[in-house]
Amino acid sequence: MILTDLLGSDVVDSKGERLGEVSDARFALDSAPTQLLSQARLVGIIVSPRTASSFLGYERQGMTQPWPVAQLLRWWHRGSFLVLWEDIAMMGSQEVVLRPDYVAYESGLPR
Amino acid sequence: MSAEKRRKIEPSEIRPAPRPAGLVLDAQLHLLDRQVLDVDGVPVTTVDDLELSGPAPDEPIPEGAAPPSITALLTGPVLGTRIFGGRPPSNRLIRIPWDVVSGVDTVITVGVRSDSLEASWVERWLRNHVIGRIPGGSHDPD
């Protein structure tokens, strides 16, 4: 699978209600190292209810300066959440379907 | 898109995210469009896309399925598709296997020389067929 096919897809819950768009995909390098780096496993997808685009990840990294830009971008991305791989039922060519009991997590990056 | 589908619902509760043990990378923020340098610090290309090991599109994912991982960084002729939409066909994208990636920072470093990667074929072709034929172009500057 190619990542660009996933980014920007609609995300719907198990009843077909639209939750937003895939704004990003989160990976973690936490398995046993192979040759040089660990395998980068898919942790989950970031779902943004308003826009699939992101600007420098302001809203995910807790940046506060310059203040007007940070406020604007935080407001624009309000309601973004992370859905783990375990809660994804299908990744289609048009939309991503979540499982009925999916859990939404905060989308901020760990610091 | 129907009017009913355009209506957005939001999850009732957003919980604190679990913290993975290792380095966490967001594809758009940390990987896509980053410069790739080889083991000697020579620029190779930029990352235009990523290849994942799964899942198959439009097929249900069984519960407990192992998460897909990044198998390769992809680079290719994406200028046109960036402007007009879509993406180049898979066979036009050049792979840099994840196994040779040695570090992810403000640049992505690979642990091999640029000459061993298919991604630098244009540069090699120009060196051999154009630069090398210019008088004095086939050796290092004195």
What does the pLDDT look like over A54-79, one tens digit per residue? Answer: 767 777 877 788 888 888 888 888 88
Please, what is the Cα angle at A62 between A58 and A63, to 5 degrees? 60
Tell me the CATH number at B32. Answer: 2.30.30.240
Minimal CA separation from A30 to chain B, in Å: 4
**Residue among B8, B21, B22 minimizing CB distance to A49:** B8
Count of the separate structural domains present in chain B: 1
Quick check: is B141 in a domain? no
Contacts of B13 in chain A (CB under 8 A): 104
Establish if B42 belongs to a structural domain: yes
Of residues A85, A71, A35, the one with CA closest to residue B99: A35
Answer whether residue B92 is part of any domain: yes
Q: What's the confidence (pLDDT) of residue A60?
A: 80
pLDDT at A111 over 70: yes
Q: Residue A31 has what pLDDT? A: 81
Question: Which residues of chain B are within 8 Å of residue A39 when distances are taken between CB atoms?
Answer: 69-70, 98
Of B19, B58, B111, the CB nearest to A36: B111
Q: What is the mean pLDDT of residues A82-101?
A: 93
Residue B110 belongs to domain spanning: 25-56+67-133
* pLDDT number for residue A55: 67
Structure token pair of residue A25: 């995909």
pLDDT for res B93: 92
How buried is B19 (Cβ within 10 angstroms: 0-12 exposed, 13-18 middle, 19+ buried)? exposed
Q: Domains, chain A, ranges and CATH? A: 3-106 (2.30.30.240)
Q: Look at residue B3 in the predicted model and tell me its pLDDT.
A: 46
**Ranges of residues in chain B whose predicted pLDDT is under 70:** 1-8
User: Between chains, do B52 and A42 touch, taking CB under 8 Å as contact?
Assistant: yes
